[in-house]
Structure 1
């Protein structure tokens, strides 16, 4: 289904706002990891800074795929690479483009699966 030469992060990033689905950051993560269409639709509510606690939607979705112990590791790694876990802070300070946040979050989840 996916080109084996691309990282999961590249696959997720390519899905970001791509027609016809126009997935948000959270949905891209779930789609890249082959989650159910229902779960992907549910996460439409979590893009654009609307994830609980103001988290980056890509980070929120990445954490949803793992157990609580791994979730903290994912968040710590994300903050180390991006500079914050909060969408508003990431965007207002131009720390990292949304597409790159999607790529980073997906790659961190993949590393935690290996």
Structure 2
């Protein structure tokens, strides 16, 4: 039976919109890395050592397109690029804290239930 509850449909659409922007294995870790400040490409890659340079580049571009991060290009030799969170990206802070807290709780529950 299909739900026709407008409030439910609105909430589901909002959740899908959010998931579309932050889905995948790498976007949340990249945003978390940038919560520690402005970083260059290599610094982000050191924070997330198992991401390939190609994947990091693709995900940075997607996050920039969704206005969660800002890319600043410096006209220097060699060219320098820095990434930082936008105000919209910073607005994820509370969600990320809750996500990490839930992850710690989940991990504890799984470990204690496997004993």
User: Of Structure 1 and Structure 2, which has the larger fraction of its residues in strand?
Assistant: 2
TM, length-normalised to structure 2: 0.30
Between 1 and 2, higher relative CO (CA 8 Å, sep ≥ 6) is seen in 1
User: Of Structure 1 and Structure 2, which has the larger fraction of its residues in helix?
Assistant: 1
Whichever of the two has the greater Rg, that structure is 2
